[in-house]
Chain A
Amino acid sequence: MASSMISNTTIPPPTSDRSHRIKRKKKAQSKAQQAQEQQQRLQSHAKWRSQAQQQIYSSKLHQALSRVNLSGGPRRGKAVREAADRVLATAAKGRTRWSRAILTNRLRLKFRKQKRNHNQQKAVGPARSKKARFGVLRLKGKTLPAVQRKVKVLGRLVPGCRKEPLPVILEEAIDYIPALEMQVRAMAALADLLFGSSSSTVAGSSDGSGLPPPI
């Protein structure tokens, strides 16, 4: 049983005793934990640039889009955009404000259309919980009206960050931008696959999925 536990990590030399193996397993586990935490610090880059993430997103997007397509109607473009955003927010796994805000907004709109009286209250706390009011604004150089204006504009662009202080907006933007880039890459690849010719899009990194020519 001990050997099966260890087979995930390393292959222990046959002469070591059991305590040695357990120590090695713990060391490997803590190293994996450290690597994981480090990756979470590099979260935005590693996560949104990985090929696996893009493929997962593409397939989920395609599933969602086939449902959208069935409903049809005059506003398909917007519906596609909303579906793409929703899948993107889901891929973020709720760790960032913008993703939670996207998902919350959709719920809010849906309920508002169906039942007016029922769900008027703001559904989710985390999108608006933290407000450091003045502490941030006293930083040198950041109280310039020009900078403040830009911060406000940026807060409006990133979903869910309208009333957040500067460092929160910066953090959200740092995660949001690679996510958007991945969204563009995945949708461009999908359009390419469906139609075989694509207009110029954000080159960035080639998605390298090696898609065969469309049928």
Chain B
Amino acid sequence: MSSRRSRSRQTSSSRNITDDQIHDLVSKLQQLLPEIRNRSSDKVSASRTLQETCNYIRNLHREVDDLSERLSELLATTDTAQAAIIRNLLMQ
């Protein structure tokens, strides 16, 4: 419905995705990775990109887990009045 134009490149039934499109996706992915973005982005192979992506996602998952642990401990100690105050602060 909404992203039909941007998704017209999907393979789904046609199975005819081109090298260029894959290359395009890989370079977009490279731009997201802090490791590769800060260094030269021309010479990074696809394999390296995938490796860095996996590492980065694993790192992010780990951070989310750590933050969840901390939040669960912190939430246990705040009471409802503070929660209301925090919600107001978040809405600003």
Known contacts: A59-B91, A139-B19, A142-B46. The answer to whether A65 contacts B67 by CB under 8 A is no
- Say yes or no: is B29 at the interface (Cβ < 8 Å to chain A): yes
Is B41 an interface residue when CB atoms closer than 8 A count as contact? no
Which residues of the other chain, A, contact B33 by a CB distance below 8 angstroms?
Answer: 177
| CB neighbors of B among A188-213 (8 A) | 188, 190-191, 193-195, 199, 201-202, 204, 211-212
B38 to chain A, nearest CB (A): 12
| A173→B3 contact, CB < 8 A | no
**A215-B82 contact in complex given A140-B19, A202-B63, C-beta closer than 8 Å:** yes
Let me know if A191 and B22 touch, CB within 8 A. no
A58 lies within 8 A of B53 (CB): no
Q: Name the residue among B47, B76, B87 with the largest chain A CB count within 10 angstroms.
A: B47
Give chain A residues whose Cβ lies under 8 Å from the Cβ of B89.
Answer: 193, 211-212
- B5 within 8 A of partner (CB): yes
A95 CB within 8 Å of chain B: yes
Interface: A103 (CB within 8 A): no
A110 in contact (CB, < 8 A): no
Q: Which of A71-108 contact B (CB under 8 A)?
A: 72, 76-81, 84-85, 95
Interface contact A167-B6, CB-CB below 8 Å: no
Secondary structure dominating the interface of B: helix
| Residues on the A chain within 8 Å of B10, using CB | 130, 167-168, 171
**CA–CA, A65 and B56, complex, Å:** 26
The answer to whether B46 touches A77 (Cβ under 8 A) is no
Chain B residue at smallest Cβ distance from A211: B89
Establish whether residues B71 and A66, one from each chain, have CB atoms under 8 Å apart when the complex forms.
Answer: no
Q: Are A62 and B87 in contact (CB under 8 A)?
A: yes
Taken together as a complex, chains A and B put the C-alpha atoms of A44 and B2 apart, in Å, by: 14
A115 at the interface (CB under 8 A from B): no
Q: With contacts A66-B75, A76-B72, A150-B54 known, what are 4 further pairs, Cβ within 8 A?
A: A154-B50, A183-B60, A195-B70, A202-B63
| Between-chain CB contacts (< 8 Å), 6 pairs | A132-B15, A136-B17, A151-B50, A154-B53, A167-B22, A184-B60
